[in-house]
Structure 1
């Protein structure tokens, strides 16, 4: 544990665990304010890509989060030879994955109104990120958190990348069910990969199943590349035509024809 962190924060119980470390509750010794601290064990970062992602997370999150109320803010960073510690907002309201899972076998897991209440702030967060030249690249229910007041907070910019000024992105990053086809195909791509991922999230919220399924990552990627989007009546029978049309526009294989974050947000902003 970094000496600088321990001088300024009291570390509490573990509240989460990931591939590279843990997340614990902590409190500021100066103000008493409560935060979360994400502690990344450098020995678990297996290659240069992992190390680069961990070290860039704080910088990119700072760009994305400044004045962006729907993104988890990082308040302090501490690093020593063994660990990187990120002190960030504590989100005690759980994540979207838990909310979907709590619905069990109900169809749909969420009403269109409840899904819209998630999509609108999520797309607002992504729109601001994209305008600042940041693509999240790992939008999924696990990374959509809720704070103690129920406000949505987009989290985990460990896979994020900066783009713009003619700079495209490359590299297969993200989580198989949510990765856009241009990523899987190894092509250069832009920020609309986040819109694809958000479209998968919307599909799962309304249907309880992923739009592109496989038993292995390879099978999932093959289904994503085929892009055969269907709306089975047994789970989408009560979903409106307008919602299905929006998902078709978000899950468009051709990125140039895919909705932007601004267009998706406009779909919700125009609702009465």
Structure 2
């Protein structure tokens, strides 16, 4: 077996230049793929660079997609894992900066469920999305709150209305997280084990879900206005929704 010590393409991150790609030679294919994914050659530094204002997630996708194309034709690729680390979230003066870590995607966690047999193991996976500092539920709540603040910063009537609507959605996300914590605790206490002769999880039909109607721009605007303090809020359409709206989080979040 021949081991190639130097890769055909190497991706890294520079504190001042951002995400960069270095190539082993000047093959046109390497240049073509990198340019396709928005890398541009810098003769000053002899590397390919993404534009300085490229968002973190966009940069990660560019590296992943370019790497996939190179590997599909048998080329070797190396990438610095620090590319996956997002920038810290800005905070007001005096507030500790929240350290960001590369989290596992929900797709990856869903894939893990297919390999598990013990209830306690499923609880451990569920706990990862409920983690107070790096869980997907908390991140989603923080994202929606930040989007609400962005709308409010417009200092317009529409911005304030939509900001209020988004904060209501964030409240529902927090309530969902509390319900998931309760389910996670129940799973942790269950001694159940999947039987050896149980069918693969991929062959078990998922629950039927009703398709939600498409949301038009007008409907979104109407929904934003419905939560206005100057207008009566829309009444829940069912007793179950009324109970959810009135309920307050009853189960504290926990982390290990």
TM over 0.5: no
TM-score (norm 2): 0.34
TM-score (norm 1): 0.32
Higher helix share goes to which structure?
A: 2
Higher strand share goes to which structure?
A: 1
Structure showing greater radius of gyration is 2
